[in-house]
Amino acid sequence: MSNILTEKIKPEHLKKIEDLNNPSLNSLIEEVLTLCNPLKVFVCDDSDEDKNYIRQKAIETGEEKQLRLNNQTIHFDNYKDQARDKANTKILIENAKDFDPNLNSKERDEGLKEVKEILKNSMEDKELIIRFFSLGPSNSDFTIPAVQFTDSFYVSHSEGILYREGYKAFEKLENKERFLRFIHSQGELENGVSKNLDKRRIYIDRDHLTAYSTNTQYGGNTLGLKKLAMRLTIYLASREGWLTEHMFLMGVNGPNNRKSFFTGAFPSACGKTSTSMITGEKIIGDDIAYLKRKNGKIYAVNVEKGMFGIIEGVNPDDDPIIWKRLHENKETIFSNILIDNNNNPYWTGSGLEEPKEGINFSGPWQTGKKDENGNLIPPSHKNARFTLSLETLENCDENLHNPEGVPLSGIIYGGRDSDTSVPVEEAFDWKQGIIWKGASLESETTAATLGQEGVRKFNPMSNLDFLSVPISQYIDMNVKIAEGVDKLPMIFSVNYFLRDKNGKFLNDKTDKNVWLKWMELRVHNEVEALETPSGFIPKYEDLHKLFKSVLNKEYTKENYEQQFTIRIPENLDKIDRMEKIFKEKIPNASELIFSVLNEQRKKFQDFQSRLGDYISPFKL
């Protein structure tokens, strides 16, 4: 053990490191200690004592405050640090100038120099926590071990809820180099929040499986295991022939106690969590999945074991399970919501009466409080979130930790699309599904990232923000995973955000329960469908039955016609937009992309010449 380790780390903690007997880990620790120069070092070996220490310290340091229910806490981020910072998140890479210009990258040497300069002595007055995790179920061919260095007890506490323990995985590590490395410092604090936001950096040293994050506290920028790991494992997957996807994973109950597994890729804040939490179904994950070919099928696991979900609009009608859970005295971290004078949590759209005053992400708050630009400050931030463990949800599926993963029957792509695609449609086949429904996904922007909302953006597989390999390569990986698979999952698209000409939403929030049941029947070929230019849609009679049985609702022909009218001009416009993007913006886009788009154009034009611009599903 080098001097700095013995000097900085107390013997009882050092022993935990020594026991892992990993030279690569030791030199990393040495590097981090030299760079960040922490006051103290705490090594967590996943014992209850260590985990409790982290929980307690999060409160002692003021990073979290206890609420009325004593297992619940609240954490606030800086007012301007409550979403992912895309501009300052960069992939560090050699020859960055030759990298895909659509991805935010930076020359590796320069980036490392810059971020290390910022991290220098950043922990002088802080305690460093070293903690081990395992992404994916333990003891599985999906498992990826990771180590997190952070000076934030909130970050460490959150990760303890969201990720599987990994100290044991490190003990067993066969390839002692294949683990992910995360180094985070919140930087200088003012009133408990990161102060130097101009020095906020999230840098991903891709080829070295290492990510740096500093001068930020918001989970999406700091929880190494979440979106930072995702960027690293997309790269790892590209080398090893599997996939890391921005997908929920769930079991959908079919007739005769059958359960079929689906993943769904949606951009942030577009209904991913709420779909995975549909009443009557089973959740395995709500954000990130690994997909692998095995036994002639595609298997998936949840990378995580918890949920860092958006809280706005969680109310007893639309999200009954989460709502109930959030009112139980079980370990929960709320972030950036309002705490009333009785220490109860309140968030916008909870269905409860809004308190007149309290404390929120802007400090002391009362009704009518305005920000520096004169805008009203809502009680909770739009991207306010809750952190909880999936095991505490009554609908958690028994396969959450299944080391085999679950075989997929269907893959769903969904975006925020006000005018183009129908609420649910099945793809013709794998390639058309991947290209037209996945790679050509567009979505209107949301509060989950800093910047303007409501702008239509190209977002292949809802994964653009997290890509660490060129877009064209990533799309090819998705096409190729099908090779050698006997029973491929079916691909579907959904759209919960379709509007009529007056801007009115055409779907109720609960309609998606029905779309899921329809998809479940389709993957078993138990229901017929109508052919459109871009796939297959449900028949009215089947939806009528399903609306009755699932929601006890009378589904009218008028509803059906409005929702499932094929909008030819909008689809043709979309094809033009996509062709332009792939031709002009995406280096090395494959021939397959253009041939699928071309085929789509021909089909839409053929339907248009026979049936007009807006085609009622009753005419199909």
Nearer to ligand SPV, 135 or 596 (CB): 135
443 binds ligand SPV (CB under 6 A): no
Distance CA 509, CA 497 (A): 9
Distance CA 216, CA 200 (A): 6
Nearer to ligand SPV, 84 or 382 (CB): 84
Residue 152 Cβ, how far from ligand SPV at the closest point, in Å? 15
414 binds ligand SPV (CB under 6 A): no
Structure tokens that stand for 545 in this block: 């039955």
Stretch that binds Mn ion, among 144-152, 285-293, 398-406, 537-545 (CB under 5 A): 285-293
Query: For residue 216, what are the contacts with CB-CB under 8 A and spacing of at least 6?
Result: 77, 81, 85, 186, 187, 194, 197, 200, 202, 222
184 binds ligand SPV (CB under 6 A): no
Residue 351 Cβ, how far from ligand SPV at the closest point, in Å? 23
| Of the candidate residues 8, 13, 227, 381, the single one contacting ligand SPV (CB under 6 A) | 227
Residue 219 Cβ, how far from ligand SPV at the closest point, in Å? 5
Binding mask 504-533 for Mn ion (x = CB under 5 A): ------------------------------
Contact predicate 167/25, CB 8 Å: no
Give SS3 for 258: coil
Q: Which of 36, 44, 270, 396 is catalytic?
A: 270
Contact predicate 301/405, CB 8 Å: yes
Amino acid sitting at position 347? W
Gyration radius of the chain over CA positions: 24
Nearer to ligand SPV, 376 or 455 (CB): 455
Distance CA 210, CA 227 (A): 13
Contact predicate 392/536, CB 8 Å: no
Contact predicate 113/229, CB 8 Å: no
Residue 183 Cβ, how far from ligand SPV at the closest point, in Å? 18
Residue 267 Cβ, how far from ligand SPV at the closest point, in Å? 7
Structure tokens that stand for 561 in this block: 């016609």
405 binds ligand SPV (CB under 6 A): no
Tokens 């789509």 locate to 600
Residue 465 Cβ, how far from ligand SPV at the closest point, in Å? 7
> Which residue has the CB atom at the shortest distance from Mn ion?
287
Strand partners, 357: 366
In this structure, the strands spanning 180-185 and 144-150 are parallel
Question: How many residues would you count in the chain?
Answer: 620
Tokens 């900085």 locate to 8
200 binds ligand SPV (CB under 6 A): no
Nearer to ligand SPV, 167 or 386 (CB): 386
| Of the candidate residues 287, 340, 476, 520, the single one contacting Mn ion (CB under 5 A) | 287
63 binds ligand SPV (CB under 6 A): no
Contact predicate 433/411, CB 8 Å: yes
Binding mask 205-224 for ligand SPV (x = CB under 6 A): --------------xx----
Nearer to ligand SPV, 255 or 451 (CB): 451
Contact partner, 340, from ligand SPV, Mn ion, none, Cβ < 5-8 Å per class: none
Nearer to ligand SPV, 37 or 336 (CB): 336
Contact predicate 336/385, CB 8 Å: yes
Compute CA distances 263 → 129, 368, 458, whole Å.
34, 42, 20
Strands (E) across 6-71 are located at 40-44, 65-66
Contact partner, 220, from Mn ion, ligand SPV, none, Cβ < 5-8 Å per class: ligand SPV
Nearer to ligand SPV, 111 or 306 (CB): 306
Contact partner, 308, from ligand SPV, Mn ion, none, Cβ < 5-8 Å per class: ligand SPV
Residues between 250 and 269 that touch Mn ion (CB under 5 A): 268
Nearer to ligand SPV, 276 or 563 (CB): 276
Active site residue 396: no
Strand partners, 333: 73, 387
Q: Give the number of residues in contact with ligand SPV, rule: CB under 6 A.
A: 9
| Of the candidate residues 307, 337, 435, 448, the single one contacting ligand SPV (CB under 6 A) | 448
In this structure, the strands spanning 259-265 and 247-253 are antiparallel
Binding mask 305-324 for ligand SPV (x = CB under 6 A): ---x----------------
Contact predicate 446/268, CB 8 Å: yes
Strand partners, 189: 194
Phi, psi of 129 (to 5 degrees): -105, 130
Q: Give the number of residues in contact with Mn ion, rule: CB under 5 A.
A: 2
Count the alpha carbons within 13 Å of 540 in the hemisphere toward its beta carbon: 17
Closest to 430 in 3D by CA, of 379, 506, 489, 349: 489
Residue 491 Cβ, how far from ligand SPV at the closest point, in Å? 21
Amino acid sitting at position 285? G
Nearer to ligand SPV, 136 or 617 (CB): 136
84 binds ligand SPV (CB under 6 A): yes
136 binds ligand SPV (CB under 6 A): no
Contact partner, 430, from ligand SPV, Mn ion, none, Cβ < 5-8 Å per class: none
Binding mask 499-538 for ligand SPV (x = CB under 6 A): ----------------------------------------
Tokens 């975006």 locate to 415
- Cα angle: 131, vertex 133, 135; to 5 degrees: 155
Contact predicate 316/350, CB 8 Å: no
Nearer to Mn ion, 268 or 571 (CB): 268
Residues between 263 and 302 that touch ligand SPV (CB under 6 A): 268, 287
**List of residues contacting Mn ion (CB under 5 A):** 268, 287
**List of residues contacting ligand SPV (CB under 6 A):** 84, 219-220, 226-227, 268, 287, 308, 448
* Residues annotated as catalytic (active site), given as ranges: 270
